[in-house]
């Protein structure tokens, strides 16, 4: 794995992970993990697309090799920090792909880059998350440890080995709780944020945290084209639908490279 970047303060090596080299790639894919997730979640995606794209997976503070850093518990602040890293990259056609909390973070980062007119993505793929303006009264971050673990089991996106290993779980819980606080306290109105680029939304038909109406509401947050794709499965439908999800990513990379 190579960890590289161009930030003047060398922090890019912490934030931007490149698991596979991409030789003379004309397009870029930036992947935004879910709450409690890490850059390594997207290692298979990097392996799939590295021959045709520069694939970057974000590593947020508070997890894995960054576990000693404090989590960023405000999503706007996290978007500001990610934006700073992406502004330093060379310009090339880019697609953002974010799952769950990562979908909203990708949206907020894209909006900031569009406002600056630098390195804005050609498209955003928002997976497994209701629209930014669709809110629910959720307080997972205020639960005790057992309550947070119950949510993880409901969404079925955490390795069962982790849930059964008390030591590993205790190491991961601060990041999970911090991310939940960031996404659960986030608020956005349709009139506040609308992207210029197209938005493609991927959702699981049985996702307990996103209804079809809530997924469709993403359309209010783009002035570009909008497309919704529904897959069998729950919140982490992409685990069982990886080939179909990869096809969606491939489509957007093709369009970004040809636009």
Report, as residue numbers or ranges, the catalytic residues: 100
How far CA 68 is from CA of 51, 123, 130, 180, 241, in Å, comes to 34, 33, 31, 18, 34
Nearest by Cα to 107 from 122, 124, 88: 124
Asked if 125 and 95 touch (Cβ cutoff 8 Å), the reply is yes
Query: Helix crossing, 75-87 with 166-184: angle to 10°?
Result: 90
Can you tell me the distance from the alpha carbon of 79 to that of 175, in angstroms, rounded to the nearest whole number? 16
């Amino acid at each position: 794995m190579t960890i590289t970047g161009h930030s003047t303060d060398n922090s890019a090596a912490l934030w931007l992970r490149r698991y596979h080299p991409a030789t003379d790639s004309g397009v870029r894919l930036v992947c935004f993990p879910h709450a409690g997730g890490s850059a390594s979640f997207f290692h298979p995606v990097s392996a799939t697309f590295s021959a045709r794209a520069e694939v970057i997976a974000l590593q947020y503070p508070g997890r894995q090799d960054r576990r000693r850093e404090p989590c960023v518990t405000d999503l706007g602040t996290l978007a500001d920090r990610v934006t700073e890293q992406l502004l330093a990259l060379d310009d090339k056609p880019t697609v953002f792909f974010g799952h769950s909390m990562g979908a909203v973070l990708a949206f907020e980062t894209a909006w900031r880059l569009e406002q600056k007119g630098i390195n804005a993505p050609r498209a955003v793929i928002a997976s497994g998350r209701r629209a930014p303006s669709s809110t629910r009264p959720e307080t997972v971050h205020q639960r005790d440890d057992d309550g947070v673990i119950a949510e993880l089991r409901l969404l079925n996106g955490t390795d069962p080995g982790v849930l059964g290993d008390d030591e590993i779980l205790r190491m991961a819980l601060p990041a999970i709780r911090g991310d939940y606080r960031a996404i659960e306290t986030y608020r956005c109105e349709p009139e506040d944020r609308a992207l210029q680029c197209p938005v493609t939304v991927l959702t699981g038909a049985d996702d307990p945290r996103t209804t079809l109406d809530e997924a469709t509401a993403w359309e209010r947050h783009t002035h570009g084209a909008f497309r919704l794709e529904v897959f069998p499965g729950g919140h982490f439908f992409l685990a069982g639908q990886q080939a179909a999800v990869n096809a969606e990513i491939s489509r957007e990379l093709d369009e970004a490279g040809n636009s």
